[in-house]
Amino acid sequence: MKWKKNHRRGYSCILLAIIMIGGITLFFERAGSSFGRTVSTSLLFKLADSYQAGTIYDRNKTVIGRGVEVGKMEWGLEADAMDACSNLIGTPIQTTFASSYTVLGMAAPNLYGYYQNRFTNWKDWLFPRKRIGDDVTLTIDCAMQEEIYKTIKNFSNACVTVINYKTGEILAMVSVPTFDIRDEEALQLDENGVIDASYNNSAYINKNLHATYMPGSTIKPILLAIALDAHPELKDFVYICEEGNHTFGNMTIDCFDGEFHRKMNLNDGIRLSCNGFAIAMSLEMSEEELEEGLKRWELDAAKQYENRFACDSSSFYGKGEHSQVNRILGSIGQGNCRVNIYELSSMYGAIFFNGIRKDPVLIQTENNTNSKETIVCTEETAKKLQKALISVVEEGTGASYCMKEEGITIGGKTGTADVNLETGERTVWAVAGILEEDMPYVVTVCLADQGKEASGGTTAGPVMKEVLKKIVYKR
């Protein structure tokens, strides 16, 4: 009897153990899908010290880089292509505190096995093997990235972003100067082992994400969209651009090179980039209407993106007070107004996508086309602005990058920002939206540290034309 009793107890213990293991397994499996939505930098450092990094691919499955052993990456592209990707990929996460402005930082949980460690591959806990992180596929097109880099690499400070405005995918993001990502020993680090952000005009920084610039006239369509949504009747707004009619409050604001455009409607005001028109129409809004619109467009409203994606926030008023002076200057992209290059591209993407702004996608998933979206303006407003932006390129300040003869419809806007009136330093811009079904792209060119003779139309525009040809003809 005693033997039978112990025997039954043994079976009970075995059964209980099976149930417990099954429960723990189920917990692990379920936890793997939702556990670890946030991850500490210190934990990422520990994982990077124990996991061989996974492989980084571009959208066409070209190998950008792969882990070959713990703490060591092997880079798979030729020199120009690797330089083109250098500050987008970034330096080792220990030198940036796993900064989410770079691919290595943004994708660190994947590359260094965080989700594996958090029960996705629970069997590895019982049967240890060599630890290799997960592979990552980017939305970047390395061939496009390289061709853009070749176009702008001789500038001292230049950036180009290309996005698909219907999906939110980032197709290219080039920032010069660059650095040699293959020579880790040459990295310039401070006493704490962190990259020297001032090195060679911020060669280590992807300025498309990790910088803001004075936007000049590229901000005007955004402000006019806010005005049109607040007061649809402003579609018929008329301004007379003539001498003596450029005083707003206590300020006199002239148009570029002192031009007078005469009678300006919405289409002509945008086409010829009339400062007076942009200021006068934006002043038709109340301060409350303006601030509500700025929030909707995520100007002066920090945005938190998913999947560890990070970029510097754009701002209309900056740290300045919400005064009439700052409002007037901001209406033409001067004063305290600053935009992030990616975010400006995204704003224009919303105009070309009929008011729908897609969240960014840099790491491919099965649900790229379902990225979050926000309605920032009405479709009616977006259509009016599309028409005006097409006229900018076909017969206005953006004519230098028109591709009408090639059968490609492009809308866009140029911008010239006077960063320092004493030295003549300017930042110049060209934005292009390709209105073709198979190429729903926004391209933004930003050239900083330019001289007083530079302008968006004459300096950034020709660069944009070369970039567009590389994209359209894939050469």
29 in any annotated domain: no
Q: Which of 301, 308, 302 is nearest to 97 (CA)?
A: 308
**Dihedral-angle region of residue 241 (phi above 0 means left; psi in -120 to 50 means alpha; beta otherwise):** beta
On whether residue 204 sits in a domain, the answer given is no
Average pLDDT over residues 82-106: 97
Nearest CA-CA partner of 394 in 408, 415, 378, 374: 408
Do residues 97 and 228 both lie within one domain? no
Task: Please report which confidence band the pLDDT of residue 224 belongs to, taking 50, 70 and 90 as the band edges.
Answer: very high
User: Does some domain include residue 6?
Assistant: no
**Where residue 457 sits, what CATH number does that domain have?**
3.40.710.10
* Final residue of a structural domain among 85, 109, 138: 138
Between 231 and 421, the more confident residue is 231
How far is the C-alpha of 474 from the C-alpha of 329, rounded, in Å? 39
Predicted TM-score (pTM) of this structure: 0.90
For residue 375, the model assigns a pLDDT of 98
Task: Please check whether residues 325 and 435 belong to one and the same domain.
Answer: yes
Compute the average pLDDT of residues 207-230: 98
Q: Give mean pLDDT, residues 381-388.
A: 98
What pLDDT is stored for residue 11 in this prediction? 55
User: Which whole number is the average pLDDT over 188-193?
Assistant: 92
| Cis, bond preceding 177 (omega within 30 deg of 0) | yes
Cα 148 from Cα 161, distance rounded (Å): 10
Mean pLDDT over each residue of the chain, to the nearest integer: 90
What is the domain range of residue 406?
Answer: 216-238+287-473
How confident is the model at residue 85, as a pLDDT?
A: 98
What mean pLDDT is predicted for residues 57-85? 96
Tell me, yes or no, whether 227 and 80 share the same domain: no
Q: Is pLDDT at 31 greater than 50 in this prediction?
A: no
Residue 184: φ, ψ to 5°: -65, -30
- Tell me how crowded residue 90 is: count the other CB atoms within 10 A of its CB: 26
In the chain, how many domains are there? 2
Least confident of 10-19, 203-212, 220-229, 256-265: 10-19
What is the per-residue pLDDT for 367?
Answer: 57
Spatial CA neighbour of 444 closest among 135, 97, 209: 209
pLDDT score at 51: 96
Question: In the prediction, which pLDDT does 26 show?
Answer: 40
What confidence tens digit (pLDDT) does each residue in 119-143 have? 545 555 555 567 999 999 999 999 9
Angle, helix 341-352 to helix 379-395, in steps of 10 degrees: 110
Going by pLDDT thresholds of 50, 70 and 90, the confidence category of residue 34 is very low
Res. 242: pLDDT tops 80: yes
**Is residue 417, in this structure, part of any structural domain at all?**
yes
Residues 425 and 316 grouped into a single domain: yes
pLDDT at 15 over 80: no
pLDDT tops 80 at residue 365: no
Same domain, 224 and 78: no
Contacts of range 317-325, beta carbons closer than 8 Å, 24 or more positions apart: 322/287, 322/291, 324/248, 324/249, 325/249, 325/250, 325/251
> How many angstroms separate the CA atoms of 425 and 438, rounded?
38
For residue 278, the model assigns a pLDDT of 97
Asked whether 332 and 220 are in contact (CB, 8 A), the reply is yes
Distant-in-sequence, close-in-space partners of 430: CB < 8 Å, separation ≥ 6 = 398, 401, 412, 413, 414, 415, 444, 445, 456, 457, 460, 461, 463, 464
Query: So what's the pLDDT on residue 138?
Result: 98
Closest CA relative to residue 371, chosen from 163, 107, 87:
163
What value does the mean pLDDT take over residues 85-90?
98
Residue 166 falls inside a structural domain: no
Per-residue pLDDT tens over the stretch 441-475: 999 999 999 999 999 999 999 999 999 999 999 75
Among 91, 116, 138, the domain-final residue is 138
385, pLDDT greater than 60: yes
Structure tokens, 407: 């059968």
Residue 390 lies in a domain: yes
* Secondary structure, 3-state, the chain: CHHHHHHHHHHHHHHHHHHHHHHHHHHHHHHHHHCCCCCCHHHHHHHHCCCECCEEECCCCCEEEEEEECCEEEECCCHHHHHHHHHHHCCCHHHCCCCCCCHHHHCHHHHCCHHHHHHHCCHHHHCCCCCECCCEEECCCHHHHHHHHHHHCCCCCEEEEEEECCCCEEEEEEEECCCCCCCHHHCCECCCCCECCCCCCCCCCCCCCCCCECCHHHHHHHHHHHHHHHCHHHHHCCEEECCCCCEECCEECCCHHHCCCEEECHHHHHHCCCHHHHHHHHCCCCHHHHHHHHHHCCCCCCCCCCCCCCCCCCECCCCCCCCHHHHHHHCCCCCCCEECHHHHHHHHHHHHCCCEEECCECECCCCHHHCCEEECCCHHHHHHHHHHHHHHHHHCCCHHHCCHHHCCCEEEEEEEEEEECCCCEEEEEEEEEECECCECEEEEEEEEEECCCCCHHHHHHHHHHHHHHHHHHCC
Does the residue 326 lie in any domain? yes
Q: Is residue 8 part of a domain?
A: no
Same domain, 299 and 396: yes
| Residue with more model confidence, 128 or 275 | 275
Out of 109, 138, 167, a domain closes at 138
Residues 406 and 297 reside in one and the same domain: yes
Q: Are residues 106 and 224 in the same domain?
A: no
What was the pLDDT predicted at 250? 86
- My answer on whether 126 and 223 are in the same domain is no
Query: What percent of the chain has pLDDT above 90?
Result: 77
Q: Pick 306 or 173 by higher pLDDT.
A: 173
Categorize the per-residue pLDDT at 32 as very low, low, confident or very high, splitting at 50, 70 and 90.
very low
Question: Distance between CA 423 and CA 418 in Å, rounded?
Answer: 10
For 36-45, what is the mean pLDDT?
Answer: 82
129 with 220, same domain: the answer is: no
Verify that 127 and 225 share a domain, yes or no.
no
pLDDT digits (tens, 9 = 90+) for 312-362: 999 999 887 899 999 999 999 999 999 999 999 999 999 999 999 999 999
Same domain, 318 and 425: yes
Q: Supply the pLDDT for residue 7.
A: 54
pLDDT class of 172 with cuts at 50, 70, 90? very high
- For residue 25, pLDDT over 50 is answered with no
Cβ neighbour number for residue 140 with a 10 Å cutoff: 30
Q: What percent of the chain has pLDDT over 70?
A: 88
